[in-house]
Structure formats: structure tokens, C-alpha cells
Structure 1
Amino acid sequence: MHTLNIITGGKELSKASRALIMLHGRGASAEDILSLAPYLDVTDMALLAPQATNHTWYPYSFMAPVQENEPWLSSAIDMVHQTVKTASDAGIASENMYFLGFSQGACLTLEYIARQAQRYGGAVAFTGGLIGEQLDTGNYKGDFKQTPVFIGTSNPDFHVPVERVHASTELLKQMNADVTEKVYPNMGHTISADEISLANQLVFNR
């Protein structure tokens, strides 16, 4: 199971009015995802990046039956919740809380916010979708109140079928999120400069 271990960056949490929760991908680290920060318009934000045990949030594909990824998936969601609580306890309101993830971290980002939908500052998912063999809409509740969300992905992507990205976008829109989805032909499993630019434009500079 995961143990809460938050690596921080950016503005000191006690002095920040906005916070960005950054979720790394499989095999990566909190420091890896924090290394994106200089390219993002987040200089006024406290950056909080929890570290997954053994560098993975859950053992199998995000498209596997949910029970196969338990108890790790529930523990991962709890780690995000505890990171949110850390920011909340420091006085950061939900509408000033932002989320960003890549790959497995993008899937976890979308899964968390869809289970806890409310007005956030915004969310960025670089190559990810909602989790499960089938989407269990009973898990998703709340109203995003037009929270801006950017989802970028490659088609094809070895890990993330574009059909799941489309389905995730539609579900978030039904929950009143302001979603921008962009599919890049043959981009590969990476983060592009165009995605960074759109994340800044659509989410962080709103």
C-alpha cells in the first residue's frame, strides 16, 4: 500500500493562494513530474507531488478490471485525497486547486476528480483516461461547475486507447466540466510542446 510522501516545489504552501497537485507516471518519480514546472505558468503555485510506492500507482493496465488493481488503486486515490487535504488544511480553496498527471498519473488525476467533482481551478491529463475495464458511472458524482480540463493524447498510444479518452471526455462534459481534448497523430507516449502550451492557455492562465 502507498504511504503519503509529498515532494514539494514552487511557492511555499503557507504563502500560496493556489496549489497544483502533480501525479507521476508508472516507473517515474515525483521529482520527474515536478521537472515539468518550469514549462508551466505556475510560478505563483505551491506544487505538491506525491510519490507512489515502488514508482507505480497500481500494478496492471488502467483498462484492467478494477478489482485486479486493488487494493493499490484505492490506496492511490486516498493518496491524492490526502494531498488535497494537505493543501486544503493550508487554506487553499478547491477552486484554487489544480491537478496534472502524465500517463498512469493522468488516469489517476481524471479518476480522482471525477469521483470528487466540484469547482476546481483546473486539471491537465497528458495521455490518460478514466480507470476500469468498463466505466462504472456509479463512482462518479458531483458538478464540475465548468472547471477547465485539458486532455491530450496520441493516436495510436500503446497504453491508452483513444476510444477511452473520448469516453472520458464525454463523461466529464456530462458532469459539467469545460473539457478540451486534443488527439495528436502518432505523437508517441510523451508530452509535446503543443500540449504544454494548451495547458497553460486553457487551464493555468484562466
Structure 2
Amino acid sequence: MYTHSNEVITEGKPLSETGKALILVHGRGATAESILGLAQQLPVQDFTLYAPQATNHSWYPYSFMAPEEQNQPALDSALERLDELVKSILDQGVKSEDLYFAGFSQGACLTSEYTSRNARKYGGLLLFTGGLIGQQLDTSKYKGDFAGTPVLITTGNPDPHVPVSRVEETVGVMEKLGASVTKKVYPGRPHTIGREELELASQILKAPNKD
């Protein structure tokens, strides 16, 4: 049985003070510390930050476009770890609409997969170069109602890991689940996060929640 560690790095003011949480999910080969570095470029002073750490720096072994069974059991364990973290935050009295996610690359793929399987009104989803997981998407797995959750999803074209076609499929699934999606495709952009992406993400993080 493969299980990811329970390691989560927390930064910022206590959740009891902020009432808002941002979960940051790192990419393959990266660390919780590295994705927290991204947060320094975002307006997160009023958020409590959570960054889970994948065992061996990878949430699952193969490409997110591989047949899903090839990425098991690591993928299921990664989804469980995210679910445990989400529940621990919500159990502290945070509303789901005050819970935000940000992920890059493999972290964006895992975040899109988790939130689409557990769609609800989140504060916002920042998906930097990623998409839903699997060789073919099994849309029966994606349930719930995003209820207008703002989603930013981006990629380069071409990107060495994330084809635009999968980003477009992901947009379609999320919109069917009620998300308000902003898609940005950057011609010739390397596998990184650009300035405009950070500015668009900042707008979502700064937007007042509408009840």
C-alpha cells in the first residue's frame, strides 16, 4: 500500500485570525517550500497557507496523461491527503467559499482532479499549467456544484507536459460543474508561471466573496 506522508507546512497568521485558507500544491520534483515561495508573489497576507509535501517529491509516478491505473496507488493516496487537509480546515469553521487552491504542473493536475471530484463553492482555483488526470477522462467521477467558483487555468503552447487539448477538456468539465473559468494559453511560453498569470491569480485572491 502506497501512502503519502502527512507532512504539511503552514505559514501566515493562524486560521482563527484569517478565516481564509490557501492550499498550495507543488509540482513533480519540487517541495512544499518551493510552492510557498510562489505565494510571496501573491496577495496572501490575509490567508493561512498550507503546503502538503509529496513523498519523494512526486504525487504520482507517470504522466498525468497516462492510463490512471499506472499512477495508482500513489494517485489515490495523494487525493486522500488533500481530502484530509481540506476536512481539517473546514472542521475549524472555515466555509468552503473561503478555501482556495493553487497548484503548478503536477500540483495543478492533482488540484483540478480533487476539486472536480469534490465540486463545491470554493473561493478560487488557480491551476497553473495542468488539467484533469487520465488517458481518457471518466467524467462520471466528477460530481458536485462549483456554484460559480472562479477558476484560472493556464498553459503554454506547446507545453512539454500539458497539451492544450487537455486544458480545454478540463475547462469543459469544470464549466459543466458550474465553475466560472478563465483559460489562458501562452504561445511559446516555457514550463513556468508568467507575470500575467500571477496578476490574474491575484485578482481572484483579492475579489470579495459574494454570498
By the TM > 0.5 criterion, same fold?
yes
Offset, 1:152: 1.1
CA distance in 2, matches of 1:6, 1:87: 12
Offset, 1:86: 1.9
CA contact 1:4–1:82 (8 Å) conserved in 2: no
CA distance in 1, matches of 2:91, 2:178: 26
Structure 1 residues not aligned, in runs of 5+: none
Offset, 1:15: 2.1
CA distance in 1, matches of 2:13, 2:108: 23
Offset, 1:16: 1.9
CA contact 1:17–1:96 (8 Å) conserved in 2: yes
CA RMSD of aligned residues (A): 0.7
Offset, 1:62: 0.2
Q: Aligned AA for 2:130?
A: G
Q: Structure 1 residue aligned with 2:196, among 194, 197, 201?
A: 194
Q: Aligned AA for 1:169?
A: V
Moved over 3 A (4+): none
CA contact 1:20–1:45 (8 Å) conserved in 2: yes
CA distance in 2, matches of 1:86, 1:196: 28
SS in 2 for 1:35: helix
Q: Aligned AA for 1:167?
A: E
Size of the aligned set, in residue pairs, is: 205
Structure 2 residues not aligned, in runs of 5+: none
Alignment of 1:27-38 (within 5 A): 27-38=29-40
Query: Are 2:63 and 1:61 aligned?
Result: yes
Q: Which residue is 2:205 aligned to?
A: 204
Q: Aligned AA for 1:204?
A: L
- Give the TM-score normalised by the residue count of structure 1: 0.98
> Could you tell which deviates more after superposition, 148-157 or 36-45?
36-45
Alignment of 1:5-44 (within 5 A): 5-44=7-46
Offset, 1:14: 2.8
Residue deviations 1:139-165 (CA, integer Å, cap 9, x gap):
100110000000111000010011000
CA distance in 1, matches of 2:161, 2:12: 31
Q: Aligned AA for 1:139?
A: K
Q: Which residue is 1:99 aligned to?
A: 101
Q: Which residue is 1:152 aligned to?
A: 154
